[in-house]
């Protein structure tokens, strides 16, 4: 698309569960000449050029004849494909340093919390117990295995390496990450799992990865390491985990603890037994919340680049759904 054909159509904020006013203010600041709307009125469908989506309503993008690009407001894009009427147009993952750092902070926080026996000491505090009767391993004695070596996984791996942890990674396709021992595909999964002390899942949710965090994975992990049985951290998507299997693995000692930020059903139902399990740390899908002020400049830049020369980065492969 050349500058001569530059289009200044509207942006449709098609996101549910978020306060749209925050995004209106951000676009007013970073793109004051661009109109953003939260609903498309009858007769105005042709005025929409771009859509910002998060769990958009089914069919809400289907009848926009001039829609050019769909921008996902989350790190993953599974929420886009829950709508079976998504038009066959470019879908772009929103990648920003802010979003990446938020996820890395969460991963490092949870890894360090388990590594430094945080759950044990909090339990002792509640009972007024002063006891240090367990050897604290050094970081270089612990292997952190990361499932998913995209932008988020690579950044988390880099920070964990600098803290002294041994880091390995597993992905669907071969990846080369400096200082990280990498494995890939079904054939590489068992070799990856058998050395992991802390398993961090940052995989995208696709038909191939749905329910991957199950007994078939937990049963292939080492039985005992410097922290005891392995620890699970899932900050990817709730659909990646089988929650009944996580409970069973904790009961059988295949896992010693888990930190879960995402769940099969969100919000996590009050009746879920996960709430009361002392071996589980629960956070409310807060690992890497999307910030309007951080993401809007990135989106505006992508739109500007696209309108100037047709370039789009971070495109989603619709077949693989990531």
In the set 79, 93, 154, 237, the catalytic residue is 237
Q: Which of 310, 322, 293 is nearest to 98 (CA)?
A: 293
Would you list the DSSP string of 96-130?
-HHHHHHHHHHHHHHHHHHHTTHHHHHHHHHTT--
pLDDT at 253 over 50: yes
What is the chain's mean pLDDT, rounded? 94
Q: Which of 108, 53, 42 is nearest to 85 (CA)?
A: 53
Instruction: Kindly indicate the confidence band of residue 4, based on its pLDDT and cuts at 50, 70 and 90.
Output: very low
Q: What's the confidence (pLDDT) of residue 126?
A: 96
**Cα–Cα distance for residue pair 169/154, rounded to 1 Å:** 9
pLDDT at 73 over 60: yes
User: Look-up: residue for tokens 């990646």?
Assistant: 240
When mean pLDDT is compared across 120-124, 132-136, 257-261, the lowest value belongs to 132-136
Q: Give 97-282's CATH code, choosing from 1.20.140.10, 3.40.50.720, 1.10.260.40, 1.10.150.50.
A: 3.40.50.720
| pTM of model > 0.85 | yes
Which residue spans within 20-142 are E strands per DSSP? 36-37, 48-54, 69-72, 91-93
Q: Let me know if 135 is a catalytic residue.
A: no
* 199 CA to centre of own chain: 15
The rounded percent of the chain whose pLDDT value lies above 70 is 98
What is the number of alpha carbons within 13 Å of residue 61 lying toward its C-beta? 32
Q: What's the confidence (pLDDT) of residue 167?
A: 98
pLDDT at 134 over 80: no
In tens, the pLDDT along 170-218 reads 999 999 999 999 999 999 999 999 999 999 999 999 999 999 999 999 9
Which strand (E) or helix (H) includes residue 259? strand 257-260
Q: What's the confidence (pLDDT) of residue 90?
A: 97
The stretch 138-161 carries a mean pLDDT of 97
Count of residues in the chain: 322
User: Look-up: residue for tokens 């109109």?
Assistant: 35
In tens, the pLDDT along 217-236 reads 999 999 999 999 999 999 99
Domain residue spans in the chain? 10-96+290-309, 97-282
Q: Let me know if 285 is a catalytic residue.
A: yes
pLDDT at 5 over 80: no
The stretch 96-103 carries a mean pLDDT of 94
The CATH H-level superfamily of 10-96+290-309 is: NAD(P)-binding Rossmann-like Domain (3.40.50.720)
Q: What's the confidence (pLDDT) of residue 94?
A: 85
**Cα–Cα distance for residue pair 211/208, rounded to 1 Å:** 9
In the set 184, 220, 285, 318, the catalytic residue is 285
The stretch 1-18 carries a mean pLDDT of 72
Q: What's the confidence (pLDDT) of residue 6?
A: 47
Q: What's the confidence (pLDDT) of residue 137?
A: 95
Q: What's the confidence (pLDDT) of residue 2?
A: 40
The stretch 147-155 carries a mean pLDDT of 97
Angle at CA of residue 194, ends 190 and 200, nearest 5°: 90
Same fold yes or no, 10-96+290-309 and 97-282:
yes
Angle at CA of residue 68, ends 66 and 69, nearest 5°: 145
In tens, the pLDDT along 29-51 reads 999 999 999 999 999 999 999 99
Phi/psi of residue 46, each to 5°?
A: -75, -10
């Amino acid at each position: 698309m050349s500058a001569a054909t530059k289009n200044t159509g509207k942006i449709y904020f098609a996101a549910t569960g978020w306060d749209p006013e925050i995004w209106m203010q951000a676009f007013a600041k970073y793109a004051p000449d661009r109109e953003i709307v939260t609903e498309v009125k009858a007769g105005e469908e042709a005025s929409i050029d771009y859509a910002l989506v998060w769990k958009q309503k089914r069919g809400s993008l289907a009848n926009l004849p001039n829609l050019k690009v769909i921008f996902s407001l989350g790190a993953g894009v599974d929420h886009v494909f829950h709508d079976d009427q998504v038009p066959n147009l470019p879908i772009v993952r929103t990648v920003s340093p802010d979003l990446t750092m938020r996820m890395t902070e969460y991963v490092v926080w949870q890894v360090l919390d388990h590594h430094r026996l945080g759950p044990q000491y909090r339990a002792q505090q509640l009972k007024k117990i002063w006891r240090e009767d367990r050897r604290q391993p050094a970081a270089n004695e612990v292997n952190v295995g990361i499932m998913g070596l995209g932008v988020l996984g690579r950044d988390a791996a880099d920070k964990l390496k600098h803290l002294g942890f041994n880091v390995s990674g597993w992905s669907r396709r071969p990846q080369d990450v400096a200082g990280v021992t990498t494995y890939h595909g079904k054939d590489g999964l068992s070799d990856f799992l058998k050395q992991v002390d802390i398993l961090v899942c940052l995989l995208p949710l696709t038909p191939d990865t749905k329910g991957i965090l199950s007994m078939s994975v937990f049963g292939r992990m080492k039985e005992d390491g410097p922290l005891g049985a392995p620890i699970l951290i899932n900050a990817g998507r709730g659909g990646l985990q089988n929650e009944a299997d996580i409970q069973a693995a904790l009961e059988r000692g295949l896992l010693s603890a888990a930190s879960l930020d995402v769940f099969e059903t969100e919000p996590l139902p009050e009746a879920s037994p996960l709430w009361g399990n002392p071996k589980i740390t629960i956070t409310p899908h807060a690992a890497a919340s999307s910030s309007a002020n951080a993401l809007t400049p990135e989106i505006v830049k992508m739109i500007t680049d696209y309108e100037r020369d047709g370039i789009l980065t971070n495109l989603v492969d619709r077949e693989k759904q990531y």
